[in-house]
Structure 1
Amino acid sequence: MDRAAHVIACVVGADTSVSFTEVVEQTGLSRSTASRLLQALERNALLDRDPDGRYRGGAMFTQFAARFDRVDSLSAAAGSTLQRLSEETGEASHLAVPSGGKVVQVAQIDSTYLLGSGNWVDIDVPPHCSALGKVLYAFDAIPLPTGRLERRATRTLTTRSALLADLEEIRESGFAVAHDELEDGLDALAAPIAGPGGGVIAAVGISGPTLRLEPDHARLGALLVREAETLSRSLQRQVPPLLTDR
């Protein structure tokens, strides 16, 4: 592992593509070992070889960089949407994307209230008890869970049948509600963001104390749907597309 990492660092850290001889000289490896490692790294898309036999970073690094470039671009595009939601509701506003079957929150504007939800960016939250997660489930952005679901609060949905029924309601209304499902006393709502191809690529939402949000679910849900549709239209007008659908 250490020798392979040394080879990767040698190639990826270089300003230009690197020859086999340069790899051997810079790593101090024998020619046979360097050849074996380079072949394995190329097979696994960590390195790529030019037609002239020189090595550079492979598709794995390109995909990694592209993914985070897309997230950064989406976060920037959604900035005004999150700001408007925060100003209109006073609650924390959130942007989340699907990643590896999970929900990753990538941007947030904090609540203007003293009593509000915390910062959820990069916090791992079970999708079945998250409004953002349920939106991504409902519109096939992440695969549905199997088996019994973890109970996190009083109203957490713990069976697949209950979750499927909720997802059908989300598709009909256009927004999701998580009412005392992640934590007692915490409510959240979310709506889907569609990319250039029409598929859902993200979700936008708000969260705050149940005592403030519960009486106003219908109005807040409609607000989220309007804002999400506006952002989706903006993304779909961009050429070349800002994001692909997956």
Structure 2
Amino acid sequence: MLDKSVMILHTVARQPCNLGELCDVTGLPRATAHRLAVGLEVHQLVARDEAGRWIPGPTLGRLAATARDTVREAALMVLPRLQESTGESVQLYRREGADRVCIAAVEPPTGLRDTVPEGTRLPMSAGSAAKVLAAWSDPDTLRSLLADAAYSERSLAEIRRRGWAQSVAERAAGVASISAPVRDASGAVVAAVSVSGPVDRMGRRPGDRLSTDLVAAADAISARLKAPAQI
């Protein structure tokens, strides 16, 4: 049963699957595949997308986050200050295939929030963090992402020039966000740091007010990654 469950996890990690697709790929009997997938869903090792297909669940992200993650550790030294200076929710995202995963988050202590728990998987098709992670992707990855994206090569070129991205009501109605790239010691973009909150509070051009604080936070995280002894 363990081997079959692991096979299901690998299968849904490659692409979302309904029951029929899961059986076709794994070769498992329908009853067995359903029983194991539902069991994994109970423990949040798999979840369902809007179409009812199984996808990797938030527990996988939380388990991965418990291992030493220098990017996450560096961010957690900076994100609380960013949250205080902006008054909004802040997150750190990493791209995993066609998804972005929240690997760190800090929420305001009170008031209306845009809560994205650690381990949450969101599509790379929309949202300011998705744009940042796409903008600095390799050409092959970028081509695959653009097929289903709300952004274009032209808009990503502007993001690379400006150094940050913003979105309004792309990921969820009534939510605005702004994101900037985090770079490792080699200069490669390894994550996106974001500030998000209600459009009524963030405005329809959140970059006008928040880009300075956000880019400073992204640079601070990147600086820590270039000097690991400071983490």
| TM tier relative to shorter chain | 0.5 to 0.7
Show structure 2 runs of 5+ residues with no match.
Answer: 6-62
For residues 180-211 of structure 1, give each alpha carbon's deviation from its aligned partner in whole angstroms, at most 9, with x where no partner exists.
11112100111111001110111111110011
1:169-188 alignment, distance < 5 Å? 169-188=158-177
The higher radius of gyration belongs to: 1
Aligned-partner Cα distance in 2 for 1:125–1:66:
16
1:223 and 2:222 aligned: no
1:192 and 2:190 aligned: no
For residues 78-97 of structure 1, give each alpha carbon's deviation from its aligned partner in whole angstroms, at most 9, with x where no partner exists.
11211011101111110111
1:102 to 94, 99, 103: 99
Aligned-partner Cα distance in 1 for 2:2–2:210:
53
**Residue 118 of structure 1: aligned partner:** 115
Please report how far the alpha carbon of residue 112 of structure 1 lies from its aligned counterpart in structure 2 after TM superposition: 3.8
Please give the TM-score of this superposition, normalised by the length of structure 2.
0.64
Please report how far the alpha carbon of residue 148 of structure 1 lies from its aligned counterpart in structure 2 after TM superposition: 4.8
Aligned-partner Cα distance in 2 for 1:226–1:129:
24
Query: Would you say the 8 A contact 1:111–1:117 is kept in 2?
Result: no
Structure 1 pair 69–197 and aligned structure 2 pair: CA distance change class (3 A):
farther
Query: Would you say the 8 A contact 2:98–2:124 is kept in 1?
Result: no
1:234 and 2:213 aligned: no
**Residue 61 of structure 1: aligned partner:** none
Q: Percent identity?
A: 29
Query: Would you say the 8 A contact 1:187–1:207 is kept in 2?
Result: yes
For residues 132-189 of structure 1, give each alpha carbon's deviation from its aligned partner in whole angstroms, at most 9, with x where no partner exists.
1111111117922356537xxxxxx2xxxx4222211211111111111111210011
Query: Would you say the 8 A contact 1:130–1:188 is kept in 2?
Result: yes
1:21-36 alignment, distance < 5 Å? none
Please give the TM-score of this superposition, normalised by the length of structure 1.
0.61
Show structure 1 runs of 5+ residues with no match.
Answer: 6-64, 151-156
Matched length: 171
In structure 2, give the amino acid aligned to 1:194.
R
Structure 1 pair 69–163 and aligned structure 2 pair: CA distance change class (3 A):
same
